[in-house]
Amino acid sequence: MIRIARQFVRIGLALAASTALCAFAQAPSNEEQQYLLAVVPLIQSGALPEAETRLADGLKKYPRSAILSNALGIVYEREKKPAAAMEAFEHALEWLPTFTAAQIHLGTLYAEAGRCDKALVLFSAAATATADADALGTLGLGAAQCNDYAAAAQYLDRAHTSKPDAAAITYNLALARYQLKQYDQTLDLLASMESGDGGQKPDFFFLRGKAKRAAGRSGAAKDLVKACELDAAGIYCSEAGEELIREEHFPEAAQMLQQQLAKGPPTTAILTTLGLAEFRLGRYRDSAASYQRAVELDKSNDAAWEGLVFLRYMTGDLEAAKDSADRALARPDVDFYLYYLQALVIYRLSRNSADAALASLKQAMAKNPGFAPTYYLRGKIKMDRNDLAGALNDFERATRLDAKYALPLYKMAQIYRRLGRQSDAENAAQRFEALGAMREEEVLSRQTQDVLMPAAK
């Protein structure tokens, strides 16, 4: 589930309101209803301990009362007692299996606890029994929390049909459509709410920007920047910066992110994206400083370590690059690219450290056997050791993995000439030229930018 899923908007469910605590209950006695209505003002005023006591007493007086147990579950929810709330709702459903309100409340708690198999069954049953827009909206939220976006869209679509002007329902439906990769429908729904209050919120601009980018439409960066400007917490700014970088507006990205850093405390996401923007501007020392700050904030962030190691490598500070790589790799479960960068640094520091570099490349390959540059670097080391057959095998493997990767072809041409295979050498040289004949440093920079781009979120 991508990060945008956190932006589902909570809907005010009538079932949880004090005036409708017994909604959808089937035929409770008049005495039970009167008892419940006497407790409602306590819940409404926030006198939860007293309400809890009264409802517990009521269940002694009216054993197996589904509406009183459901109300007690709601009180427990508000008191942040999820286990007790679940038990109360489970009792309500044991005593009245078709109690829709209890199904929705219990399903929501199950979803929050990660028990989605049970939650989705309850959501489906509740959706069959109700046409209430707010109830359906809550079912949509619960299904989305369980990553069942098809069900979420189904429930939210019914809610939207019933209340087409409800901004929260429309937005959530648009977000469910986005998760289903139905980008045109997402944008149509957002267009329908643009003129209302919901169309002026950062969440709206963020989702529209993401949908525009996914649909290949223009204006994605503009919307994401607007989301950044409207959001005081700046949670959208890193993705706005990333989109500006993707559209090659590097100065604008750096300026926006620096302004955001001036407004409040730094975050790892902002700093890693700023580091990438500065990287693309060729401001390597500034970029290294941004990645260093990101590492200081969050030592578990692979992107920050990768940016820092690479920038120190590029500026020639090899000992610092090696130290950073060693520190990064001392952590558990690190990204393959850190092992690759470590090998790169080690081998540039000393050709006598070839065995250590090869060991790092072995680790990188184990984590990502499909990354062509690891085979290219291993081939270079073998070639320096005069293992031409082994080097040629690695270079050929690299070109098979990435047909647009030119550097191995240059080395293959050299080996073919040394082996007297002139025709093969000329063919490899021609293929190298056709792919652009880029310098190794330039290829390495682009390769690192590509790795860091998705990580700078």
Please indicate, yes or no, if residue 106 is contained in any of the structural domains: yes
DSSP 8-class letter at 353: G
CB 295 within 8 A of CB 283: no
Residue 21 has a pLDDT of 45
Where in the sequence is the domain holding 85, given as residue range(s)? 1-180
Residue 10 has a pLDDT of 57
CB 235 within 8 A of CB 206: no
Please indicate, yes or no, if residue 34 is contained in any of the structural domains: yes
Residue 1 has a pLDDT of 33
Work out how many domains the chain is built from and give that number. 1
Please indicate, yes or no, if residue 225 is contained in any of the structural domains: no
Residue 454 has a pLDDT of 64
- Token pair 């926006």 is found at 256
Please indicate, yes or no, if residue 132 is contained in any of the structural domains: yes
pLDDT digits (tens, 9 = 90+) for 110-127: 999 999 999 999 999 999
Q: Name residues of the chain where pLDDT drops below 70.
A: 1-27, 454-457
Please indicate, yes or no, if residue 258 is contained in any of the structural domains: no
DSSP 8-class letter at 7: G
CB 67 within 8 A of CB 32: yes
Residue 9 has a pLDDT of 61
Please indicate, yes or no, if residue 438 is contained in any of the structural domains: no
The CA distance from 269 to 246, in Å, is 16
CB 308 within 8 A of CB 337: no
Angle subtended at Cα 271 by Cα 268 and Cα 277, rounded to the nearest 5 degrees = 140
pTM assigned to the model: 0.80
CATH number, domain containing residue 16: 1.25.40.10
Please indicate, yes or no, if residue 404 is contained in any of the structural domains: no
Please indicate, yes or no, if residue 414 is contained in any of the structural domains: no
- Residue 419, both tokens: 């082996």
Residue 43's contacts (CB-CB under 8 Å, 6 or more residues apart) are 18, 21, 51, 71, 74, 75, 78
